[in-house]
A = this chain, B = another copy of it.
Protein backbone atom coordinates (compact mmCIF):
# COMPACT_ATOMS: atom_id res chain seq x y z
CA UNK A 1 0.00 0.00 0.00
CA UNK A 2 2.86 2.34 0.81
CA UNK A 3 4.97 3.16 -2.19
CA UNK A 4 8.31 4.94 -2.02
CA UNK A 5 6.87 8.40 -2.45
CA UNK A 6 4.37 7.98 0.31
CA UNK A 7 6.92 6.39 2.58
CA UNK A 8 9.27 9.27 2.01
CA UNK A 9 6.48 11.75 2.64
CA UNK A 10 5.71 10.04 5.93
CA UNK A 11 9.33 10.15 6.97
CA UNK A 12 9.68 13.79 6.04
CA UNK A 13 6.50 14.69 7.89
CA UNK A 14 7.59 12.96 11.08
CA UNK A 15 10.90 14.79 10.88
CA UNK A 16 9.13 18.08 10.33
CA UNK A 17 6.83 17.56 13.29
CA UNK A 18 9.66 16.49 15.54
CA UNK A 19 11.78 19.41 14.45
CA UNK A 20 8.96 21.88 14.85
CA UNK A 21 8.14 20.76 18.34
CA UNK A 22 11.68 20.43 19.54
CA UNK A 23 12.24 23.97 18.41
CA UNK A 24 9.03 25.09 20.08
CA UNK A 25 10.18 23.40 23.27
CA UNK A 26 13.47 25.23 23.20
CA UNK A 27 11.84 28.55 22.40
CA UNK A 28 9.36 28.05 25.21
CA UNK A 29 12.14 27.23 27.66
CA UNK A 30 13.85 30.42 26.60
CA UNK A 31 10.71 32.37 27.43
CA UNK A 32 10.07 33.34 23.83
CA UNK A 33 6.60 31.85 23.50
CA UNK A 34 3.75 33.15 25.66
CA UNK A 35 1.01 31.06 27.27
CA UNK A 36 1.14 27.29 27.46
CA UNK A 37 2.10 24.72 24.85
CA UNK A 38 1.42 21.00 24.69
CA UNK A 39 3.82 18.92 22.61
CA UNK A 40 3.39 15.56 20.91
CA UNK A 41 7.04 14.59 20.63
CA UNK A 42 7.17 10.79 20.42
CA UNK A 43 3.69 10.63 18.83
CA UNK A 44 4.62 11.72 15.31
CA UNK A 45 3.58 8.46 13.66
CA UNK A 46 -0.02 9.09 14.63
CA UNK A 47 -0.35 12.52 13.07
CA UNK A 48 1.77 11.69 10.03
CA UNK A 49 0.25 8.28 9.35
CA UNK A 50 -3.35 9.32 9.86
CA UNK A 51 -3.25 12.50 7.78
CA UNK A 52 -1.29 10.88 4.95
CA UNK A 53 -4.11 8.40 4.56
CA UNK A 54 -6.61 11.22 3.99
CA UNK A 55 -7.30 13.22 0.84
CA UNK A 56 -6.90 16.96 0.46
CA UNK A 57 -10.65 17.53 0.63
CA UNK A 58 -10.94 15.64 3.90
CA UNK A 59 -11.17 17.32 7.27
CA UNK A 60 -9.52 16.81 10.60
CA UNK A 61 -10.37 18.17 14.01
CA UNK A 62 -7.64 18.31 16.59
CA UNK A 63 -6.97 18.86 20.26
CA UNK A 64 -4.85 20.98 22.60
CA UNK A 65 -1.93 18.83 21.41
CA UNK A 66 -2.39 19.58 17.76
CA UNK A 67 0.85 20.77 16.14
CA UNK A 68 1.55 17.42 14.55
CA UNK A 69 -1.99 17.00 13.26
CA UNK A 70 -2.02 20.45 11.70
CA UNK A 71 1.37 20.06 10.03
CA UNK A 72 0.53 16.62 8.72
CA UNK A 73 -2.73 17.84 7.18
CA UNK A 74 -0.86 20.56 5.35
CA UNK A 75 -0.72 23.61 7.58
CA UNK A 76 2.24 25.87 6.95
CA UNK A 77 4.85 25.62 9.72
CA UNK A 78 5.65 29.29 9.23
CA UNK A 79 2.14 30.48 9.95
CA UNK A 80 1.94 28.03 12.83
CA UNK A 81 5.17 29.30 14.32
CA UNK A 82 3.96 32.86 13.89
CA UNK A 83 0.90 31.90 15.92
CA UNK A 84 3.04 30.46 18.70
CA UNK A 85 4.92 33.75 18.70
CA UNK A 86 1.55 35.57 18.91
CA UNK A 87 2.24 37.42 15.67
CA UNK A 88 -0.21 38.79 13.19
CA UNK A 89 0.70 36.34 10.42
CA UNK A 90 -0.21 33.39 12.60
CA UNK A 91 -3.25 31.33 11.70
CA UNK A 92 -5.31 33.07 14.37
CA UNK A 93 -3.68 36.43 13.68
CA UNK A 94 -1.72 35.84 16.86
CA UNK A 95 -4.77 35.92 19.09
CA UNK A 96 -5.39 32.19 19.54
CA UNK A 97 -2.06 30.56 20.23
CA UNK A 98 -1.01 26.94 20.06
CA UNK A 99 -4.39 25.58 21.09
CA UNK A 100 -6.41 27.14 18.28
CA UNK A 101 -4.36 26.61 15.16
CA UNK A 102 -6.49 25.88 12.11
CA UNK A 103 -6.06 25.95 8.37
CA UNK A 104 -9.52 25.49 7.00
CA UNK A 105 -8.36 25.56 3.38
CA UNK A 106 -6.22 22.52 4.12
CA UNK A 107 -9.08 20.82 5.96
CA UNK A 108 -7.72 21.57 9.42
CA UNK A 109 -10.80 22.63 11.36
CA UNK A 110 -8.73 23.51 14.34
CA UNK A 111 -6.96 22.50 17.45
CA UNK A 112 -9.29 22.90 20.40
CA UNK A 113 -8.83 23.62 24.06
CA UNK A 114 -11.91 21.75 25.23
CA UNK A 115 -11.16 18.07 25.68
CA UNK A 116 -13.64 15.91 23.77
CA UNK A 117 -15.16 18.54 21.48
CA UNK A 118 -12.97 17.59 18.54
CA UNK A 119 -15.12 14.50 18.16
CA UNK A 120 -18.63 15.94 17.67
CA UNK A 121 -17.17 18.75 15.59
CA UNK A 122 -15.81 16.15 13.17
CA UNK A 123 -19.14 14.37 13.16
CA UNK A 124 -20.70 17.66 12.10
CA UNK A 125 -18.25 18.00 9.24
CA UNK A 126 -19.08 14.45 8.17
CA UNK A 127 -22.77 15.25 8.31
CA UNK A 128 -22.08 18.29 6.18
CA UNK A 129 -20.38 16.10 3.57
CA UNK A 130 -23.29 13.67 3.66
CA UNK A 131 -25.93 16.36 3.16
CA UNK A 132 -24.06 17.98 0.32
CA UNK A 133 -23.23 14.68 -1.33
CA UNK A 134 -19.51 15.36 -1.14
CA UNK A 135 -17.02 12.56 -0.76
CA UNK A 136 -15.09 14.20 2.07
CA UNK A 137 -14.26 12.24 5.18
CA UNK A 138 -13.74 13.78 8.60
CA UNK A 139 -11.20 12.45 11.06
CA UNK A 140 -11.31 13.35 14.74
CA UNK A 141 -8.14 13.18 16.79
CA UNK A 142 -8.68 12.72 20.50
CA UNK A 143 -6.81 11.25 23.43
CA UNK A 144 -7.59 8.37 25.74
CA UNK A 145 -8.44 10.95 28.36
CA UNK A 146 -11.02 12.45 26.04
CA UNK A 147 -12.58 9.04 25.52
CA UNK A 148 -14.32 9.48 28.89
CA UNK A 149 -16.08 12.64 27.78
CA UNK A 150 -19.80 12.47 27.18
CA UNK A 151 -19.41 14.45 23.98
CA UNK A 152 -17.43 11.58 22.50
CA UNK A 153 -20.13 9.04 23.22
CA UNK A 154 -22.83 11.32 21.87
CA UNK A 155 -20.83 11.89 18.72
CA UNK A 156 -20.05 8.23 18.08
CA UNK A 157 -23.65 7.25 18.62
CA UNK A 158 -24.86 9.90 16.18
CA UNK A 159 -22.28 8.92 13.61
CA UNK A 160 -23.39 5.31 13.82
CA UNK A 161 -27.08 6.18 13.60
CA UNK A 162 -26.53 8.37 10.58
CA UNK A 163 -23.77 6.24 9.00
CA UNK A 164 -21.52 9.24 8.66
CA UNK A 165 -18.16 9.32 6.88
CA UNK A 166 -16.01 9.83 9.94
CA UNK A 167 -12.93 8.21 11.44
CA UNK A 168 -12.48 8.36 15.20
CA UNK A 169 -8.78 8.34 15.91
CA UNK A 170 -7.91 7.87 19.56
CA UNK A 171 -4.27 8.77 20.04
CA UNK A 172 -3.55 7.10 23.34
CA UNK A 173 -0.29 8.53 24.58
CA UNK A 174 -0.32 6.85 27.98
CA UNK A 175 -1.47 9.86 29.99
CA UNK A 176 -4.14 12.47 30.36
CA UNK A 177 -2.52 15.41 32.06
CA UNK A 178 -0.92 13.85 35.14
CA UNK A 179 -2.69 10.51 35.29
CA UNK A 180 -2.08 7.29 33.36
CA UNK A 181 -4.32 5.43 30.93
CA UNK A 182 -5.84 3.19 33.59
CA UNK A 183 -7.25 6.12 35.57
CA UNK A 184 -9.38 6.89 32.53
CA UNK A 185 -10.09 3.66 30.71
CA UNK A 186 -11.48 0.67 32.61
CA UNK A 187 -10.98 -1.79 29.76
CA UNK A 188 -8.05 -3.12 27.75
CA UNK A 189 -8.57 -0.84 24.80
CA UNK A 190 -10.75 2.09 23.85
CA UNK A 191 -11.10 0.44 20.45
CA UNK A 192 -13.46 -2.08 22.04
CA UNK A 193 -16.02 0.70 22.35
CA UNK A 194 -16.74 0.55 18.63
CA UNK A 195 -18.97 -2.42 19.35
CA UNK A 196 -21.13 -0.17 21.51
CA UNK A 197 -22.13 1.58 18.30
CA UNK A 198 -21.91 -1.24 15.81
CA UNK A 199 -18.96 -0.08 13.77
CA UNK A 200 -15.46 -1.56 13.51
CA UNK A 201 -12.76 -0.83 16.03
CA UNK A 202 -9.07 -1.54 15.78
CA UNK A 203 -6.08 -1.20 18.07
CA UNK A 204 -2.79 -0.38 16.34
CA UNK A 205 0.76 0.39 17.34
CA UNK A 206 0.82 4.16 17.24
CA UNK A 207 4.58 4.19 17.02
CA UNK A 208 4.50 2.33 13.73
CA UNK A 209 3.52 4.79 11.05
CA UNK A 210 2.75 2.02 8.58
CA UNK A 211 0.15 0.52 10.89
CA UNK A 212 -1.45 3.88 11.49
CA UNK A 213 -1.48 4.66 7.80
CA UNK A 214 -3.02 1.31 6.88
CA UNK A 215 -5.73 1.49 9.52
CA UNK A 216 -6.80 5.01 8.61
CA UNK A 217 -6.59 4.29 4.92
CA UNK A 218 -8.96 1.41 5.39
CA UNK A 219 -11.33 3.37 7.63
CA UNK A 220 -11.40 6.34 5.28
CA UNK A 221 -12.16 4.13 2.30
CA UNK A 222 -14.99 2.56 4.22
CA UNK A 223 -16.34 5.96 5.20
CA UNK A 224 -16.10 7.22 1.63
CA UNK A 225 -17.95 4.16 0.40
CA UNK A 226 -20.89 5.09 2.64
CA UNK A 227 -20.24 2.30 5.12
CA UNK A 228 -20.04 4.63 8.10
CA UNK A 229 -17.63 5.34 10.91
CA UNK A 230 -14.69 3.44 12.37
CA UNK A 231 -12.74 3.74 15.56
CA UNK A 232 -8.99 3.35 15.73
CA UNK A 233 -6.94 3.43 18.88
CA UNK A 234 -3.25 4.05 18.34
CA UNK A 235 -0.96 3.39 21.30
CA UNK A 236 1.97 5.71 21.67
CA UNK A 237 3.71 7.73 24.35
CA UNK A 238 3.91 11.38 25.21
CA UNK A 239 7.63 11.96 25.74
CA UNK A 240 7.33 15.42 27.20
CA UNK A 241 5.17 16.71 30.01
CA UNK A 242 1.50 17.50 29.67
CA UNK A 243 2.60 21.10 29.13
CA UNK A 244 6.10 22.38 28.63
CA UNK A 245 7.57 22.91 32.08
CA UNK A 246 5.66 20.01 33.63
CA UNK A 247 8.03 18.27 36.09
CA UNK A 248 6.54 14.85 35.17
CA UNK A 249 7.13 13.36 38.59
CA UNK A 250 3.93 11.34 38.17
CA UNK A 251 5.27 9.34 35.23
CA UNK A 252 6.04 5.66 35.43
CA UNK A 253 9.79 5.02 35.31
CA UNK A 254 9.69 3.44 31.88
CA UNK A 255 7.91 6.48 30.46
CA UNK A 256 10.20 9.11 31.92
CA UNK A 257 12.49 11.24 29.83
CA UNK A 258 15.83 9.47 29.63
CA UNK A 259 14.27 6.00 29.47
CA UNK A 260 14.61 4.02 26.33
CA UNK A 261 11.45 5.24 24.64
CA UNK A 262 10.09 3.80 21.43
CA UNK A 263 10.87 6.34 18.73
CA UNK A 264 8.52 6.29 15.74
CA UNK A 265 11.08 8.04 13.57
CA UNK A 266 13.77 5.50 14.39
CA UNK A 267 11.31 2.63 13.96
CA UNK A 268 10.36 3.78 10.52
CA UNK A 269 14.00 4.64 9.86
CA UNK A 270 14.80 0.93 10.02
CA UNK A 271 12.38 0.34 7.18
CA UNK A 272 13.39 3.14 4.86
CA UNK A 273 15.69 0.88 2.88
CA UNK A 274 12.79 -1.51 2.20
CA UNK A 275 10.99 1.36 0.53
CA UNK A 276 13.98 2.22 -1.55
CA UNK A 277 14.96 5.26 0.48
CA UNK A 278 18.70 5.51 0.83
CA UNK A 279 20.84 7.36 3.32
CA UNK A 280 21.31 10.32 1.02
CA UNK A 281 17.58 10.77 0.64
CA UNK A 282 17.20 10.47 4.38
CA UNK A 283 19.81 13.14 4.91
CA UNK A 284 18.08 15.32 2.38
CA UNK A 285 14.78 14.86 4.22
CA UNK A 286 16.41 15.87 7.48
CA UNK A 287 17.93 18.91 5.87
CA UNK A 288 14.59 19.86 4.40
CA UNK A 289 12.91 19.62 7.79
CA UNK A 290 15.56 21.75 9.41
CA UNK A 291 15.27 24.33 6.66
CA UNK A 292 11.51 24.41 7.03
CA UNK A 293 11.80 25.09 10.75
CA UNK A 294 14.32 27.83 10.11
CA UNK A 295 12.05 29.35 7.53
CA UNK A 296 9.19 29.16 10.01
CA UNK A 297 11.11 30.91 12.74
CA UNK A 298 12.39 33.62 10.41
CA UNK A 299 8.84 34.19 9.21
CA UNK A 300 7.49 34.32 12.74
CA UNK A 301 10.16 36.66 13.95
CA UNK A 302 9.60 38.99 11.05
CA UNK A 303 5.88 39.13 11.60
CA UNK A 304 4.60 42.08 13.65
CA UNK A 305 2.44 41.84 16.74
CA UNK A 306 -1.23 42.39 16.10
CA UNK A 307 -2.42 45.97 16.47
CA UNK A 308 -4.46 46.78 19.56
CA UNK A 309 -7.43 47.37 17.29
CA UNK A 310 -7.42 43.63 16.61
CA UNK A 311 -9.02 43.06 20.02
CA UNK A 312 -12.44 43.61 18.53
CA UNK A 313 -11.80 41.98 15.17
CA UNK A 314 -13.54 38.76 14.10
CA UNK A 315 -15.88 38.67 17.05
CA UNK A 316 -18.79 39.02 14.65
CA UNK A 317 -18.98 38.86 10.87
CA UNK A 318 -17.96 42.00 9.07
CA UNK A 319 -15.54 42.94 11.78
CA UNK A 320 -12.38 41.83 10.04
CA UNK A 321 -9.75 44.51 9.63
A153 CB-CB contact with B under 8 Å = yes
- A130 and B160 alpha carbons, distance in the complex (Å): 36
Instruction: Give the contacting residue for A160; candidates B151, B183, B186, B196; CB below 8 A.
Output: B186
Note all chain B residues with C-beta closer than 8 A to A183. 161
- Which A134-170 residues have C-beta < 8 A from chain B? 148-154, 157-158, 160-161
Within the complex, what minimum Cβ distance (angstroms) separates A177 from chain B? Answer: 16
B195 touches A196 (CB 8 A): yes
A257 CB-CB contact with B under 8 Å = no
A211 CB-CB contact with B under 8 Å = no
Note all chain B residues with C-beta closer than 8 A to A197. 186-187
Contact with B along A41-85 (1 / 0, CB 8 A): 000000000000000000000000000000000000000000000
So how many copies of this chain end up in the complex? 2
Chain B residue with the shortest CB-CB distance to A186: B160
Within the complex, what minimum Cβ distance (angstroms) separates A239 from chain B? Answer: 26
A: interface residue count bin:
20 to 34
Within the complex, what minimum Cβ distance (angstroms) separates A15 from chain B? Answer: 37
Note all chain B residues with C-beta closer than 8 A to A153. 148, 150, 152-154
Note all chain B residues with C-beta closer than 8 A to A157. 148, 186
A23 CB-CB contact with B under 8 Å = no
- A154 and B160 alpha carbons, distance in the complex (Å): 19
A193 CB-CB contact with B under 8 Å = yes
Instruction: Give the contacting residue for A198; candidates B151, B158, B186; CB below 8 A.
Output: B186
Within the complex, what minimum Cβ distance (angstroms) separates A301 from chain B? Answer: 43
- A150 and B196 alpha carbons, distance in the complex (Å): 14
- A152 and B157 alpha carbons, distance in the complex (Å): 12
Instruction: Give the contacting residue for A192; candidates B150, B186, B195; CB below 8 A.
Output: B195
- Which A178-233 residues have C-beta < 8 A from chain B? 183-184, 186-187, 192-193, 195-198
- A112 and B320 alpha carbons, distance in the complex (Å): 45
Within the complex, what minimum Cβ distance (angstroms) separates A191 from chain B? Answer: 11
Chain B residue with the shortest CB-CB distance to A162: B186
B161 touches A154 (CB 8 A): no
Within the complex, what minimum Cβ distance (angstroms) separates A187 from chain B? Answer: 4
Which A residues have a C-beta under 8 Å from some C-beta of B? 148-154, 157-158, 160-161, 183-184, 186-187, 192-193, 195-198
Given A150-B150, A150-B153, A161-B184; 6 other pairs, CB 8 A cutoff: A150-B152, A152-B153, A160-B186, A161-B186, A187-B196, A193-B196
